[in-house]
């Protein structure tokens, strides 16, 4: 079953909406749902929200613990607040915040992605929806789709044993297992995220709309084990699972936008602690 011109148009319009920071409901999850449990706050999922606030002098706002014996206990946000010039000696509870401050300052000085706020759309699981692209040698762009019930962008549930970004690897392994180890699968960043959390245990999940690239591993080995540089591929690797299909992007503006974003990432980055 091939994708019709009308279905291609609908998919391209959806990709354009995601690139602009919008979202849409996901009615089903294509990969990993059977290994994932619905997200329930204070039971199997925790979201940590952090703010990095600067003033006109590029000093960062710090809050001091009210008391040492209050550590890990619940209370309303309270404590002595003061601006820190990032140079003076300061006893830090943990050095993990330094990287956040560094990235916050870089973004404050030169924003490289649009402001990204949660979209008011519900999700039951922690899910990643992929705009998974392959860029060919002649600057043609393909997007991987799931065929049924109608052609759509693949989605995959997060697993407790893996990083959120592993979702892209699961999709590629299912779609084209023979090509998986010959390609690098990279989650470049987040277009937008969807969450509302109004119904405890039913809408505590979050959906990340992400850009993913599949790039041939240029360094391969010949039959004697010697390293060989392989030429750039003109087309994506063949799909082995009939659930999936590659679709070439026809709209020139969208194709150029996707190529630009894969080369000069202007997205909210996503990092894993695994």
Tally of CA atoms within 13 A in the half-sphere of 104 that contains its CB: 16
- Calculate the average pLDDT of the chain: 88
List the one residue out of 254, 256, 209, 260 whose CA is nearest residue 9.
254
Report the DSSP pairing between strands 206-216 and 126-135. Answer: parallel
For the ranges 17-21, 92-96, 230-234, the lowest mean pLDDT is seen at: 230-234
pLDDT digits (tens, 9 = 90+) for 111-128: 888 888 899 999 999 999
3-class SS string, 55-71: CCCCCEEEEECCCHHHC
- pTM of the prediction? 0.85
Domain boundaries, the chain: 5-43+116-263
Average the pLDDT over 82-87 and give the result.
92
Rounded to an integer, what distance in angstroms lies between the CA atom of residue 87 and that of residue 38? 44
Q: What is the pLDDT of residue 177?
A: 95
Residue 273: which pLDDT band, with cuts at 50, 70 and 90? Answer: low
The reported pLDDT for the residue numbered 82 is 92
Using a pLDDT cut of 90, give the percent of the chain over it.
54
Task: Report the relative pairing of strands 80-84 and 60-64 from DSSP bridges.
Answer: antiparallel
- Whether the pLDDT of residue 208 is over 60: the answer is yes
Domain 5-43+116-263: assigned CATH number? 3.90.79
State mean pLDDT over 67-76. 76
CB 133 within 8 A of CB 143: yes
Closest CA to 93 of 51, 66, 59, 64: 64
Q: Quick check: 96 pLDDT over 90?
A: no
- The share of the chain scoring above pLDDT 70, in percent, equals 93
Query: Residue 249's closest CA among 158, 133, 75?
Result: 133
pLDDT score, position 112: 83
Measure the CA–CA gap between 32 and 240, rounded to whole angstroms.
18
* pLDDT tens sequence across 172-206: 999 999 999 999 999 999 999 999 989 998 999 99
- Residue 126 in 3-state DSSP? strand
What are 153's two structure tokens? Answer: 């962008």
> If you average pLDDT over residues 151-177, what whole number do you get?
91
Please compute the mean of the pLDDT values over residues 247-254 and round it to a whole number. Answer: 95
Look up residue 231 and give its DSSP letter: P
Per-residue model confidence (pLDDT) at position 224: 67
Condensed to tens digits (0 to 9), the pLDDT of residues 4-42 reads: 999 999 999 999 999 998 999 888 899 998 888 999 998
Q: What is the CA radius of gyration of the chain?
A: 22
d(CA 104, CA 102): 5
């Amino acid at each position: 079953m091939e994708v019709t011109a009308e279905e291609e148009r609908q998919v391209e319009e959806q990709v354009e909406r995601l690139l602009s920071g919008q979202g849409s409901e996901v009615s089903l999850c294509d990969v990993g749902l059977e290994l994932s449990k619905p997200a329930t706050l204070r039971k199997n999922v925790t979201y940590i929200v952090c703010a990095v606030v600067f003033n006109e002098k590029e000093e960062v706002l710090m809050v001091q613990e009210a008391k040492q014996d209050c550590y890990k206990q619940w209370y309303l946000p309270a404590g002595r607040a003061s601006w820190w010039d990032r140079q003076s000696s300061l006893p830090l509870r943990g050095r993990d915040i330094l990287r956040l401050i560094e990235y916050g300052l870089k973004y404050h000085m030169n924003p490289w992605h649009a402001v990204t706020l949660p979209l008011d759309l519900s999700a039951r699981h922690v899910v990643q929806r992929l705009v998974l692209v392959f860029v060919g040698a002649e600057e043609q762009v393909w997007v991987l789709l799931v065929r049924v019930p109608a052609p759509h962008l693949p989605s995959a549930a997060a697993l407790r044993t893996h990083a959120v970004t592993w979702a892209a690897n699961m999709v590629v392994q299912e779609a084209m297992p023979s090509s998986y180890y010959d390609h690098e699968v990279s989650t470049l960043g987040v277009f937008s995220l969807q969450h509302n959390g109004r119904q405890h245990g039913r809408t505590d999940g979050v959906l990340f709309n992400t850009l993913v690239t599949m790039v041939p591993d240029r360094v391969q080995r010949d039959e004697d084990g010697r390293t060989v540089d392989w030429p750039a591929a003109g087309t994506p690797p063949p799909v082995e699972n009939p659930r999936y299909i590659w679709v070439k992007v026809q709209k020139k503006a969208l194709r150029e936008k996707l190529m630009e974003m894969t080369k000069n990432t202007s997205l909210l980055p996503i990092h894993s602690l695994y």
